[in-house]
Amino acid sequence: VRPANTTGYTANEVVNDDIGFMLTIPNAVRAPGGACELNAIVVKTDQGGGAQTWRPKVFLHQTPRLAFLADNAVITLSYTIQRQTGYLGNVLLPALAPPAGTTIDEATINNLNVVLHAAPDRKDLYFDLQTLDAFTPGSGALYEVEFLLTQL
C-alpha cells in the first residue's frame, strides 16, 4: 500500500493508498462468522537499510469502516470506538528495522495467539495501518502487511 508520493506522515496517521478503502485480509476464516487464531504480524517496506524506523500499529475490524480514510488521515481511538462497527482491537509492533543481511526494513510481532471472529456474513477481516511516529517515505515506497493466521 502507498501512493507514489513523498508526503510526510505525522504521528497517528494512516498509511494507505489514496483511495482510502480499508485493507482486507481475504478469507481469514473458513466460513462466514467463523474464527481464526492470529499468531503473528509482519510489516515491511521495500525501502530499507534502516531508513524506515517508524512504529506501526494495526487496527483490526470485522467489517469495513463506515468512512473512507485516505493516506495521511489521522486515526484516533475515539474514531475507532464511535464510528466503526466490528472493532476487534489493535496490535502495536516494534519499530521497523533491517533484519541482518537484508535490504528491507520490517517489524514483527510473534506469539500473539489471539482468536478473532469474522462478522456473521463475512469470511474476511479488515485492518488499518497506522504510524505512531513522524516519517517521510521515499517516492513509491511499498508497505506490506503479513498476517500469520490459523483458521479454526
3-state class (DSSP) for residue 77? helix
Task: Inform me whether the pLDDT recorded for 24 exceeds 70.
Answer: yes
Rounded to an integer, what distance in angstroms lies between the CA atom of residue 4 and that of residue 67? 23
**DSSP E strand stretches across 1-55:** 23-25, 35-45
Task: Inform me whether the pLDDT recorded for 117 exceeds 60.
Answer: yes
Expressed in percent and rounded to 5, the helix, strand and coil fractions of the chain are: 5, 40, 60
The whole-model pTM stands at: 0.89
Task: Inform me whether the pLDDT recorded for 34 exceeds 70.
Answer: yes
138 in Cβ contact with 57 (< 8 Å): no
- 59 grid coordinates: 487496527
The chain-wide mean pLDDT, for the chain, equals 86
Confidence label for 2 from pLDDT (cuts 50, 70 and 90)? low
Rounded to an integer, what distance in angstroms lies between the CA atom of residue 132 and that of residue 38? 22
Confidence label for 18 from pLDDT (cuts 50, 70 and 90)? low
